[in-house]
């Protein structure tokens, strides 16, 4: 894929990605891991390792299609931001989100890079990310600040992407939110 892009041959890049997805990923890998994904307990090492591999595969595929399908790659960012927003809003039921300054701390990686595509500056009052979060101000960082206010509310979780129904689900582990 990288060689195809280097030679400006998008058709070859698409064919290589399509072959990988249909033959290697769908035809082989999914068939050997489906029992681990559907039958193993949620916290089992086998299932978690499989989810980690799928997250890395999604990362690679998203990066590979971004040059020719940027809107599809950006959709991952919006899906992730909406899942984070839902977590934030559920923690402040009945309150006006626009009264809060939100800090989103995400480990470096694809999700962080996708969130950066929604907010160019580290802190903003008018970015796409701030609009999606419905907050007064949003700070995007790769680590929680050390100087958090004493009245800050912390919430942490991670978002797993279900490849079947494209749903983002939360579970406990970073990213972290504070407001």
State how far the alpha carbon of 161 is from the alpha carbons of 6, 41, 71, 73, in Å: 30, 17, 18, 14
- How confident is the model at residue 166, as a pLDDT? 44
What pLDDT was estimated at residue 158?
Answer: 58
| Confidence grade of residue 73 (pLDDT, cut at 50, 70, 90) | low
Q: How many CB atoms lie within 10 A of CB 11?
A: 9
Supply 93's token pair.
Answer: 């039921």
pLDDT confidence band for 170 (50 / 70 / 90): very low
Q: What is the pLDDT of residue 58?
A: 80
Beta bridge partners of 101: 137
Calculate the CA dihedral of residues 121, 123, 126, 132 and round it to 10 degrees.
100
Report pTM.
0.50
Q: Collect contacts of 137-141 with beta carbons under 8 A, ≥24 apart.
A: 137/101, 137/102, 138/101, 138/102, 138/103, 138/104, 139/101, 139/102, 139/103, 139/104, 140/104, 140/106, 140/112, 140/115, 140/116, 141/103, 141/104, 141/105, 141/106
CA 160 – CA 80 distance, rounded (Å): 9
**pLDDT computed for residue 171 by the predictor:** 38
State residue 135's pLDDT score: 85
Least confident of 36-50, 74-88, 121-135, 138-152: 74-88
Q: How many Cβ atoms sit within 10 Å of the Cβ of residue 64?
A: 20
* Residue range 75-87: mean pLDDT, rounded: 71
Q: Higher model confidence: residue 49 or residue 112?
A: 49
CB-neighbour burial class of residue 36 (10 A; exposed 0-12, middle 13-18, buried 19+)? middle
Tell me the pLDDT tens digit for each residue of 128-159.
888 888 888 888 888 888 887 777 777 766 55
Stated as kind and residue range, the H or E segment containing 177 is strand 168-178
Average pLDDT, the chain: 77
Task: Tell me what pLDDT residue 155 has.
Answer: 72
Alpha-helix runs per DSSP H in the chain = 2-6, 10-19, 30-39, 45-65, 70-91, 110-116, 128-133
């Amino acid at each position: 894929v990288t060689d195809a892009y280097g030679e400006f041959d998008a058709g070859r890049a698409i064919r290589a990605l399509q072959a990988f997805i249909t033959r290697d990923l769908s035809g082989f890998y999914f068939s050997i891991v489906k029992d681990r994904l559907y039958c193993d307990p949620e916290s089992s090492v086998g299932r978690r390792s499989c989810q980690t591999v799928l997250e890395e595969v999604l990362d690679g595929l998203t990066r590979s299609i971004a040059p020719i399908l940027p809107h599809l790659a950006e959709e991952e960012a919006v899906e992730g931001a909406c899942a984070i927003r839902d977590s934030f809003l559920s923690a402040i039921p009945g309150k006006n989100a626009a009264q809060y300054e939100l800090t989103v701390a995400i480990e470096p990686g694809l999700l962080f890079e996708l969130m950066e595509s929604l907010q160019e500056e580290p802190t903003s009052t008018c970015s796409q990310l701030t609009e999606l979060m419905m907050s007064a101000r949003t700070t995007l960082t790769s680590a929680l600040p050390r100087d958090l206010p004493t009245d800050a509310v912390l919430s942490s979780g991670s978002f797993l992407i279900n490849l079947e129904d494209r749903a983002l689900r939360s579970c406990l582990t970073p990213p972290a939110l504070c407001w």
